[in-house]
Amino acid sequence: MVDRLGLKVDVDTLEGMREGVPALLRLFERHDIRATFFLSFGPDQSGRAVFRLMRPGFLKKMMRTRAVEMYGWRAMLRGTLLPATWIAANSPSLVREIEAAGHEVGVHCWNHVLWQDHLPRLSRERVEEELRRAVDAYVDALGHPPHSCAAPAWMVTASSLEVQDSFALDYCSDVRGEAAFMPRMNGRTFRTPQIPTTLPTLDEVLGVEGVGREGFNDHLLTRMIRPSEVHTVHAEAEGRAYRDLLDELLTRLAERDRKVVPLSDLALSIRLEELPVHEVVVEAFPGRAGRLAQQGELSRDSARESQPA
């Protein structure tokens, strides 16, 4: 079987949607590849990231990644000095263009900042409201329900996993890990399989241990050791200031005969009855400020039924 790279594009901001997505569509067309776009539909409040400055390591990360260059100054002001304009919900024609080009379109969220910064404190009802608004906007744009979801900032709770189950998705890509699995959290096993991101992202590696812009792809390629890997890029970064890096990566992957595919292709090869059950843990992760959801140890309880709410 040909080695594959599942390519996941997170769209977190208005600039990512307006500028990054069209540029990535042109790039992917030139390389003749298909990817999965996970869209934020609601308000762009990315400027409120300033309130994360108290988190250990956040300011250092902003400086080493040159955040203004990576995301643009407008993104740094959305939701504060600039209005929190809706992202994908205001661009239904572009959402349809992504799908028409043969790419998979999935749900990222409604309000990215709310989810990333406050999910553990949200009630199940509020989590359901957030996902419902995103799903409704998705259906309004495309005329059919989504088949996949990817949580912002790789942040989940047992409540969010339960809500995702209620939407009968084919898979979610909410966590970091090594291979597809069934998630278990807080003593409950959930029904929607996880296809985790397996490789480090640009902002996690840039400026760490001497890895600069010119060395990022070399570093990434050395990490591709499994037959199937999943890489997450961001429309705000690889779709704009760092597009040349992604262009080079796609060329080098083709030279190595590693096929770039949407995550839905990886999902098609999943046999649910054979997937192991792993605990989902929320812990610190190299290169990121704060904690995120990760594939934990193999669960001792292999039950596949999610308990009722």
Contact 157, 165 (CB under 8 A): no
Nearest Cα neighbor of 96 from 149, 138, 43 is 138
Tell me if 303 is assigned to some domain: no
Tell me if 309 is assigned to some domain: no
Average pLDDT over the chain reads 89
- pTM of the model as a whole: 0.89
**pLDDT tens figures, 203-235:** 999 888 778 889 999 999 999 999 999 999 999
**pLDDT tens figures, 290-300:** 899 999 999 97
User: In CATH, what number is assigned to the domain containing residue 179?
Assistant: 3.20.20.370
Can you tell me the distance from the alpha carbon of 178 to that of 307, in angstroms, rounded to the nearest whole number? 26
**pLDDT tens figures, 25-63:** 999 999 999 999 999 999 997 865 544 444 555 445 554
**pLDDT tens figures, 264-292:** 999 999 998 899 999 999 999 998 878 99
Asked whether residue 242 carries a pLDDT value surpassing 70, the answer given is: yes
Asked whether residue 7 carries a pLDDT value surpassing 60, the answer given is: yes
User: What is the pLDDT, as a whole number, of residue 309?
Assistant: 38
Contact 49, 118 (CB under 8 A): no
Residue scoring higher pLDDT (70 or 200): 200
Tell me if 308 is assigned to some domain: no
Residue 33 backbone zone (phi > 0: left; psi -120 to 50: alpha; other: beta): beta
In SS3 terms, the chain reads as CCCEEEEEEEECCHHHHHHHHHHHHHHHHHHCCCCEEEEECCECCHHHHHHHHHCCCHHHHHHHCCHHHHHCCCCCCECCCECCCECHHHCHHHHHHHHHCCCEEEEEECCHHHHHHHHHHCCHHHHHHHHHHHHHHHHHHHCCCCCEECCHHHCCCHHHHHHHHHCCCCEECCCECCCCEEEEECCEECCCCECCECCCCHHHHCCCCCCCHHHHHHHHHHCCCCCEEEEEEECCHHHHHCHHHHHHHHHHHHHCCCEEECHHHHHHCCCHHHCCEEEEEEEECCCCCCEEEEEEEECCCCCCCCCCC
User: What is the pLDDT, as a whole number, of residue 306?
Assistant: 44
Strands 228-234 and 148-149, bridge-based pairing: unpaired
Cross-strand partners of 107: 39, 149
Strands 228-234 and 4-11, bridge-based pairing: parallel
Can you tell me the distance from the alpha carbon of 278 to that of 307, in angstroms, rounded to the nearest whole number? 16
Measured from the Cβ of residue 135, the count of other Cβ atoms closer than 10 Å reads 18
Mean pLDDT of 141-163: 98
Tell me if 304 is assigned to some domain: no
**pLDDT tens figures, 186-198:** 999 999 999 999 9
For residue 205, what are the domain limits?
A: 4-298
Q: Count structural domains, the chain.
A: 1
Nearest Cα neighbor of 148 from 43, 295, 270 is 270
**pLDDT tens figures, 86-137:** 999 999 999 999 999 999 999 999 999 999 999 999 999 999 999 999 999 9
User: What is the pLDDT, as a whole number, of residue 267?
Assistant: 97
Strands 182-185 and 277-284, bridge-based pairing: parallel
Tell me if 96 is assigned to some domain: yes
Contact 217, 252 (CB under 8 A): yes
